[in-house]
Amino acid sequence: MSAPAFTASDRQASTLYLPPGSWATVLDCLCERFSAISREQWLDRIVRGKVLDGNGLPIAVDLAYREGLRIHYFREVPNETPIPVQEAILYADEHLVVADKPHFLPVTPAGEYVEQTLLRRLIRTLDNPDLVPLHRIDRHTAGLVLFSANKQTRSAYQALFPTRQIEKRYEAIAPALAHLTFPCVHKSRLVDGEPFFRMQEAEGPANTETRVEVSERRGEHWRYALFPVTGKKHQLRVHMAALGAGICNDPFYPSVIKDAVDDYDNPLKLLAQRLRFTDPVTGQERVFESRITLDW
């Protein structure tokens, strides 16, 4: 018997191991565990093949409940609002895809975004369900994102990031820091902050490091080149705010802008501008640069 052509993890499905209970069917379990989703919606998903068993095969509506059974399901957001921005594919081969992500587009499904994400768009464009992002950048940040296109070579590319074999250059526009000497290095300990989506600096050994250079001075605002040595969530945004130069149009730092909505004319002035590394499969020196520019 041949293996199924689809595995849930490849297409970013969620996984659930059925908990202890006395339900008659898997459907009954799902309806009670995820009560915010109606029984009609779960029935519709099952009929459309959007709920799978551990082998990646669609389940039957009357599949009997069994504790510990592995189930995969696809998150869906009814009437998901389109995000009016367009990504670009800068490079693609059998192993690697390099995309230019516009501001406001999430990399992967989360919260209210499922189809309106860079990953889902690229899967549809390239017809490749094996695409997996090798790293992430914030929804508010624009620029380069690398994707693995081949399961056989994925681990080689994934190893580039934790072993710091990839050089990342970002650009940011932020207030002038005339009192500092550049280049400068900022190190701190980042921990989860409040509200839940923010990060904050705390006492203790540093777990983040960023080198900051100035590439252009224009009055009260400068263009900075940022080189993160580590890759914590919101690291550059927190570090620039800590230095006294919160990145222009940042809705989270140094303080949260209440009820902020996406302003497509005034995005966060942060760009993942360049990635440089030695390709672990081909041995070639790779340098990719974003085609997006930050306007003053």
pLDDT of residue 10: 42
pLDDT of residue 6: 44
pLDDT of residue 170: 98
Provide the residue-wise pLDDT of the chain in tens; the chain has 296 residues.
333 444 444 445 688 999 999 999 999 999 998 887 888 889 888 888 888 988 888 899 999 999 999 998 877 766 788 899 999 999 999 999 999 999 999 998 776 787 899 998 998 899 898 899 999 999 999 999 999 999 999 999 999 999 999 999 999 999 999 999 999 999 999 999 998 899 999 999 999 999 999 999 999 999 999 999 999 999 999 999 999 999 999 999 999 998 889 999 999 999 999 999 999 999 999 999 999 999 99
pLDDT of residue 3: 39
Residues 6 or more apart in contact with residue 91 via CB below 8 angstroms: 97, 98, 288
**In terms of pTM, does the model score above 0.95?**
no
Domains in the chain: ranges and CATH: 8-73 (3.10.290.10), 88-289 (3.30.2350.10)
- Tell me which amino acid residue 35 is: S
**DSSP character at residue 226:** E
H helix and E strand count, the chain: 5, 14
Radius of gyration of the chain (CA): 22
pLDDT of residue 141: 98
pLDDT of residue 1: 37
Q: Which uninterrupted H or E stretch holds 285?
A: strand 285-289
